[in-house]
Structure formats: structure tokens, C-alpha cells
Structure 1
Amino acid sequence: MSGWRGPVDLPPAPAPGAAAPRLSAWADRLLVLAAMAACPQDPLHHGEGDVLVHTQMVCDELVAGAEWRSLPVEGREELWLAAVLHDCGKPQTTREEDGRLRAPGHARAGAILARRLLWQAGVPWAARERVCGLVRWHMTPYHLLDRPDSARQAILMSLSVNPARLRLLVECDARGRLAPDVEALAETVALAWEVCAELGCGDGPFPFANDHARFTYFVGRADRDPTWAAHDDTSGRLTLLSGLPGAGKDHWVTTHAGDAVVVSLDDLRRERGAKRTDQTAQGQIVQEARERLRVELRAWRDVVWNTTGLSRQLRAPLVSLGHDYGVRVRIVCVEAEPATLAEQNARRSDPVPEGAIERLLGRWEFPGLDECHERVVAERLRFPAR
């Protein structure tokens, strides 16, 4: 993968009625397509060949269909990008198991990579996340009916992707291959969409009674009825920041935190005189920060947790703490374009190394509505020169 500063040139969606561009012609300028061309697939499920050949077939299926052609231009462009990138996670996840090629977790890995590419390409965050949702969930309809928690999965899926748009993408994924079970796959996809429709989320997010009902359904007891109108008995608010280094999280705190208590790993690191690369000190700092957070939450004070918070894994224990202490959980996503990010990171007193930002991009998961009562996106924040 090339450096994160450089722009990314993505294949444009064709006009309705036109043929899909040949993706192989873009492989020399978009490294992810070259990696897909070099990635083999299990011939039982993909007799057509490598990942890029399959992707081209999916794109051809998509643009040939009347349903795609009838969508508004934004919908066509987002589905096109999702089709191009839906299997971009396969090169990093494909391995041989028992003589078969498999790519476990490629949808999640692909969504993370797609997010980075779309960010570098300058795609607005809302459109970017709709595309990433399609990539992230494109494997779920194949297995939804076999899951004991199929309703919960369908509801979760509906919070980040339009199930009807996902159905169209996955039907094209099923048909854009050479395999003996193409029709069976397409039927499975249709049945999965019917599950969503019966739940009331076939063409949009599940209609929770309120944001507290949604939050407690996913963070509370696993057997909770999604239609239950939960009474919001929270007191105090925990705000979790989520953003790359240099995006402007400290500036957001300065201008928006108000009287809230701010718990910041960077501040604790400065208090201790610890370097960012000191992993021993980092563990102690995180432990101290979490204890401070517990003290403030026990008092039902408003707290801002100021860290990068880019992965669900890092956010999950903090979200659970918010639930356990009965406070409202808000996640603020602080966004900055690559050039702004690089400029502002360079102006920090302790800039984050570019290699560290590269690693963080490989873990960047946009916060979901299942993680919080409220999600806010703050973009184009520019902090003043020091």
C-alpha cells in the first residue's frame, strides 16, 4: 500500500447503459487492484479465476441491471465503488486450509482498507461510510439464516447499510462468478433480505423506539426485545473521541468540552514525561486513565475521553463502562483530510510518526450506532498555529 498522504484515483462509475470500465486497465495506478489480480480463489466457488476477474464480473452484473440504472446518481456511484472494493480484503486474508483457499474475515478487512482508500480519494464521510458498510456486510446475507442470532445481526446490519442496496450488491456478487451453486446463492440472498423486511428494516435502519432502546439492545442484555421502549434513566455523559492523530481532537475539546472532565492519554504522558514509544509507561498510563474515568463516572459527571479510539475493540470496554455506570454515551468522530492531517500532526509538539499513522489506518473502524446513544461527526477542524 502506498503512503497515506498521496491521493487515490478510483475507477469512475459508468453512465447508465454504458459498459463497466475494465478494472485491469486501472491496476497500474491503483495498487489494491493489482493485488486483487494476483490473489487466487478457491476454484470450487470461483471457477472464473482471481479476485480481480471476479470483481469485474460483479461490476458487469451490477451496471447491466435495470435496478442499478434506475437509482439516483449518488446511489449508483456508491454501489459501484462497493462492487469495485467488495473483495479488496482478500489479498491480505487469503490462505490455504486443508487444501482449499479461504479468506476468513475479508469483509471486515476490506471495509477498513476501503475506508482508507475512500478517505484518500476525498469521498465525503457519509458516502464513504455507506460504501464501507456495503463492503463490511456483503458476506452476511449468505450465512444469516444459519445464525441463531439472525434477527440481531439483521438489525445491526441495518444501522450501517441499506439492506435493499446490500441485497442488490450481494446478488451481483453471487451471479458474478463461475460456480455450480450460483442460483442457490442468489436465493439465499433473497431470503436474507426477507428476514430484514419482516423485522421492519428491509429498506432502512430498524425503527428503535429511542436511542436508549437501541443502545441497551446492543450493549445490555443479549435477549432484550428490540421493540421495547426503554426508559432513559441515564445521568451524566461520557464522550469518546475517535480520530486519527492530527485530526483536531484537542481542538474539539478546547472548543466543545465545556465543564466536562477531560481524560487524555497525551496529557498523562506529558505529566509523567513519558515518550510515546515507551510501551511500559503506556500500559501504566492507560490503567491510570481508566481509573480516573471510573471515579468521574461514579459521580455521574460529564467526561470526555480523549484518545484516538479508532477501533471497536478499543472503544468496547469504555462503552461498557458507560452502560454500567448509567451515563449517556456519545462518540465524536473527528475527521480531517490527509493533507490537513499531515500539516496539523507536523505542528504538534510531539508529532506521531508517519509509520504509526499508517498502522492506525489499518485499524480504523468508524463508530457504529450500536456503540452509543449519539454519534457526532466533526470535520474540517483546523487548530490555530502555536
Structure 2
Amino acid sequence: MNTLLSPLPTWTFPFCPQPPDWFRDWDSIQNDFDWIQNLRGCQQDPIYHAEGDVLIHTRMVCEALISSPNWRQLPEKERSILFAAALLHDVAKPAFTKIEADGRISSKGHARQGARMVRQILSQFEPPVQFEIRETVVAIVKFGSLPIWLIDKPNPQQSVIKVSQVVRCDFLALLAEADVRGRQCSDRQELLDKIELFREFCQENNCLDSPRQFPSAHSRFIYFRKENGNPDYEAFDDTRCEVILMSGLPASGKDYWIQKNLPHLPVISLDALRKEMNVPPDETPGNVVTAAKKRAREYMNEGRSFVWNATNTTKQMRQQLINFFAAYQARVRIVYLEVPLEEILQRNRSRTVTVPEAVICKLAARLDIPDITEAHQVEWVVSDRA
């Protein structure tokens, strides 16, 4: 569920080539976007990237994508999404590139951080980029190398099925193919063969151009919590209550949303507990979490539904809580709230008790938006008001 409080016309990436001539306006792209210029001079390992620096590679990737018949036959919105992903797929390389002791050049971790940088970059566009489009570009950048590395995964089937829940796998294959064709390397054909194998594997698992379907939401939840589960297994739903796990930056409107939508449920609020225990708003010591979990345990033992209200901005934070709730046979529903960062900071300044702005910006930079693989149900309540 995605609730947009202010609908916008469909956004397309500036300068995305259009038929019939598919003109590439590289001068405008390089003049308009600082992050493109930052790629200039960033070295790459010549064994895998003999073509030159990251800027040269990025342009070659875009050229390869634009030349692809599979890309050209897509609707305009989808062409735009993939073009944006191609331009941005290595945006974090300058920050993550280093020369190893043996002289080789590496950029480990650039895809995951690159996805976060993409979210920040697209959040600053005018007109605003729709949440769904932005997060699709983010996911393509984050998982773009999966087609090449699939066979090295401990559980390839679960890897493709999991990714299919957040992004189309055929999009990943298109970008991966452009990435390979946009470089000079000795193993190009081997890499292209891996991408084709990825396509075939996704097709076999019914998740190439749509999410893999499950017998039920609970079956999906159980599947992603097991290492070697069967995606066709219909799990018995033994849940006894529902926990609504709130997620969102400070001042994103979680308290208001709860009051408006769930006034009948008890709320466990870390902010309220901090206030009770005289703890600063930017700190969460162990005794606060212990007290919150004690109350949650009492509710779950009674089979009583409740709301857990905290920022929960990273997947690791949420996973620890979801494991705790699931152990008590709770059904988990995540509600994520988002408003522009500028509005968040403005709201925070008007509060009686404020959170340091540096803390909010740090949380925003490390934000992992919840996806459907984490819980039984996920809702994204997004406002584009600035």
C-alpha cells in the first residue's frame, strides 16, 4: 500500500533519450548533475574496466542500454527508470574506491551505499520524483549486480524470489547487460552468459517480470525467515495478535497517524518511555528498550494487538524486533511514514523537545525503507509536500 497525500504527474528522468532518434544529450547531463562530474578521474581496475575511469564507463553503460531493443520497446516510464539507474549505478564509487596492497583497485560496498545516495539525489529533484519510481531506481542500483553473482549465492532461488518482491528481475538483467557491454574486459561473454542464465532461472521461478506469488502473506513471511523453505508451501497461520511496527524519521508524523488510524490500540512509545525515565530524545539506553519489551511481552502473552512506536529506520533495527514479535506468534505490520527532510527539520524545530538536527540527518543518510520481505504487511504513507 502506498498512500500519496499529494498526487503528482508521472515523473521522467531529464534528458532520457526519446524516439525516434534516441538523441543522447550528454552535454546537458554533465552540466546539470554534479554527481556525474564526480565520476571523472575515479580509477577502476584495468582487468575488469580497461575502458578508463568511472565517468567513461557510465557513459558507455548508458550507450549500451539506449542501444538495446529490449529497452527501446519498454514504456516511457520504465525506460526513464532504467536510464536513471544506468547513470547512477556507480555514483558511490568515488567514495569507496581504494588501491589495495597488491595494487588492485576495488570499490567494495559501493552498491549498497550507492542506493542510499540515489535516494538522496532523487529526493532533491524538482519536480519531485514519485516514491514508487524513486525506490525502483534505488532497488535497481542496490541489486544490479545480482545477475552476475547469482550462482555464488548460498540460496540462489531465495535470492531471486526475494529481490522480485521489490524490483523486477528483468530490469536488473537489462542494467547488468548494459553494465557488461559498457566495459572492456576479457570475460565479457562469460558475464553475458551468466546474465542469460539469471533470466532463465527467474523465469523458471515465476519471478522475471513480476513478484513471485505466495499462497498467503503468512507463507511469504515464513519463507523469508527460513534458509531452505519451499515458496509453494502454505504455512499454517498460528498468529495470535498483530503488532503494528511504526517506521520513519523523527517528526514524520507517526504519533498523529496512530491517533487518527489506530486510536483503539495500546501504544508502546520509546519517546514516551524516554520522557518517563528522563532520557534525552537522541539516546536509547538498554533500560528503555527492556521496559518497552516487557510491556510488549505482556500484550503478546495476552494475545492483544498493539503499536510499537519508534523510528526503526534501519532493517537491522526492525529485524531484531520482528524476531522478538514472531517468537510470540504475532502478525507483523509495518507502517512507514515519509515527508520531505526539509519539512521534518522544520517540524522538529517547532517541537517542545527537539532532536538534534545532526541526528536526524544521520538517520536519513542511513535509512532503509521497509519492504514486503520483512513482514506480513507493509504500508508506505508518503507525502510529497515540501
Q: Structure 2 length normalisation: TM-score?
A: 0.90
Give me the whole-angstrom Cα distance separating, in 1, the residues matched to 2:51 and 2:14.
22
- Tell me the equivalent position of 2:259: 254
Percent identity between matched residues is 36
Listed as ranges, the matches of 1:284-299 within 5 Å are 284-299=287-302
Q: CA deviation at 1:354?
A: 2.4
Q: Deviations over 1:36-79 (max 9, x none)?
A: 22421111111122222211111111112222121111101111
- Report the residue type matching 1:238 in the other structure: V
Where do residues 175-194 of structure 1 align in structure 2 (5 Å cutoff)? 175-194=181-200
2:76 is matched with which residue: 73, 76, 95?
Answer: 73
Q: How many angstroms apart in 2 are the aligned matches of 1:275 and 1:37?
A: 44
Give the equivalent residue in structure 2 for 1:5.
Answer: none
Mapped to 2, the partners of 1:350 and 1:190 lie a distance apart of 55
Correspondence list, 1:217-228, <5 A: 217-219=223-225, 221-228=226-233
**Aligned counterparts of 1:46 and 1:11: Cα–Cα separation in 2:** 27
Give me the whole-angstrom Cα distance separating, in 2, the residues matched to 1:82 and 1:351: 36
CA distance in 1, matches of 2:217, 2:300: 20
Indicate whether 1:196 and 2:202 are aligned. Answer: yes
TM-superposed CA distance for 1:135, in Å, is 0.8
Closer, same or farther in 2 for the Cα pair 1:352/1:31, shift >3 Å? farther
Structure with greater contact order relative to length (CA < 8 Å, sep ≥ 6): 2
- Is residue 2:145 matched to residue 1:139? yes
SS of aligned partner of 1:39:
coil
* Alpha carbons of structure 1 residues 27 and 349: separation in structure 2 relative to 1, 3 Å: farther
**Structure 1 gap ranges (5+):** 1-8
- Provide closer, same or farther for how the CA distance between residues 12 and 329 of structure 1 changes in structure 2, counting only shifts above 3 A: farther
The equivalent residue for 2:244 is 239
The 1:21–1:300 alpha-carbon spacing in structure 2 relative to 1, beyond 3 Å, is farther
Encode CA deviations 1:284-341: one digit per residue, 9 max, x unaligned: 3233223322232222221211111111111111111222111111111101123432
What TM-score results when the alignment is normalised by the length of structure 1? Answer: 0.90
Query: Is 2:339 the partner of 1:333?
Result: no
Match of 1:238, SS?
Answer: strand
Does the residue aligned with 1:334 lie in a helix, a strand or coil?
strand
| Letter of the structure 2 residue corresponding to residue 155 of structure 1 | I
Please give the alpha-carbon distance, in whole angstroms, between the structure 2 residues aligned to 1:305 and 1:103. Answer: 38
Partner of 1:271: 276
Query: Which residue of structure 1 lines up, in the alignment, with residue 166 of structure 2?
Result: 160
Shift of 1:34: 3.1
SS at 1:371 equivalent: coil
In structure 2, relative to structure 1, the CA distance for the partners of 1:146 and 1:313 (3 Å cut) is same
Q: Does 1:313 align with 2:319?
A: no
What is the alpha-carbon distance in structure 1 between the residues aligned to residue 75 and residue 59 of structure 2? 22
Q: Deviations over 1:90-128 (max 9, x none)?
A: 223222333211122222111111112222222111111
Q: What whole-Å deviation, never above 9, does each CA across 1:192-236 have from its counterpart, x for those lacking one?
A: 1211111111111111111111000112x3222111011222121
Alpha carbon RMSD of aligned pairs, Å?
2.0
Question: Structure 1 residues 355 and 20 mapped into 2: Cα distance closer, same or farther (>3 Å)?
Answer: farther
Cα 1:18/1:10, change in 2 over 3 Å: closer
